[in-house]
Structure 1
Amino acid sequence: MQTECAYLFSSLAKELENLRVLAEEAGKKKEELRKRSNHSFTKTDLVDPQKWTMGDVQQYGRVLAQLQDDVKNIKDQRILLKRTLRELESNMLKAGTRKEEIVRFNRAKTDEEFAKMLKVRTLGPEHLEAQSQLRRDIQVVRDRVQKLEDNLQGCKTKLSQFQIGKPGLRAPSLDTVNRTFRNINLAINQQTEDISKLAARMSKLDMSSLQVSITRDKRLGESTAKRPINVTPHVAVTTAAALNAERSA
């Protein structure tokens, strides 16, 4: 029994010693991982994992945050490149069409039959004008058709509302009606009070003191209304006589 206990004790001592050694190694490894590297990192260091340690996690996050502007610029450049590619494809298509036209015209210089066929395919000035007029008319017809479709859709909506008994105009709520009547009553009461105040002020005025007798100043002489209407100045009579004499002559 003592031998077994001694053997068990020695085994536990060895295990504890091994655990102590492992704990020391783990502690050293932990310290190594937590140790920060005294190095100023840049964006180019993100692709090299050998330069980073676990203690540089915060600095790694700061450097990584600096890439946000670069990512945004790359997205903007991507959109610009897509737009440029679309324009380039359109220009390439136009260039291909022009190239085919150039080939046809070069062939028309040497082949009379092909030149006649190419000439027939081109439109004259009157046909071009008719083509432009037709395009304008087609556009006008399309606009009218669109308006008719919109009106037809509105009529269908009204018809469906009428069939199901749904009113086209929504009645205002009771709260809105009550608020409107309350505002009207307040306005009427305010106007009534203003009119009552004006009537009270008018009743206090003494209108008899405003009557003033109007007399004419004696120095002005008699009124011109008392003169006879048929009185003509001497100059007017002389002028009229001269005109009559010239007419009779």
Structure 2
Amino acid sequence: MHKRFRLSGPVLCLTLLFTLCLAGPAPAGNGLYQYSTIDALLAGLYDGDLTVRDLKFHGDFGLGTFNGLDGEMVVLEGQCYHVTAGGKAVTPSDQALTPFAVVTFFEEDVILKLGRIRSLDELNKAVLAALPSRNTFCAIRIDGRFSRIKARAIPRQNPPYQPLAELVKQQVVVKFTGRGTLVGFYSPAFVRGVNVPGFHWHFLTEDRTGGGHVLDAALNNEVARIDELREFSVQLPNSPGFDRLDLSGDRSRELHKVEKDPEGKTAK
């Protein structure tokens, strides 16, 4: 004969809470989640305490980098990819750590048909004209055939770290043609110092073996899918390194230097 047990209210609540803790953080809503700030990265904080596993609880689409400023991160359809210097994409361990990342659960709101796009600047202007608002965040996904993608990744660094504006001189530039996906975000101007105002793009080849941070792009008659995001949350690193940073200055010039195709090595 089996004995039956009944859980009282408090015991049941504790049991459910313990189960949820074991399962990990609850998925966020249709908003943008960010770990750390772009100015902290510019200042040389290249070591974070957020794992890839925990990052994926906050979104299935996004971008970032890895501890030691080791290459570029692309998150697409729930899978995280690590693009190393030279453009090769591999799957990182769930325990890999990130010092900066931005993700969301992608749900398209707007479909934009693109004509001939000859540069990244042309792409940015075309998408900007179609945004629901310039004061909200947007995630942008473009799948298609690209006649030119110029992408970069920076080799892993060792402490003591130099500022990002100096390390970007070590970037390895790779050029791609063919099918792939652009993973991008638009952020409004008021997030200066926290995120990258304007557009930030990463690329992943269709076979998921190559990619990087996009410096230039060309495509023709493809479609951009846009997800408008009106919620924005930032998790700050819980570390003495972050607490000691001086983030009071304006690093806009440094960011421009990093984002606007500085000179670097070209992969063979």
Q: TM-score, normalised to structure 2's length? A: 0.17
Q: Is the helix fraction higher in 1 or 2?
A: 1
Larger relative contact order (Cα-Cα within 8 Å, sequence gap ≥ 6): 2
In our comparison, the structure showing a higher alpha carbon Rg is 1
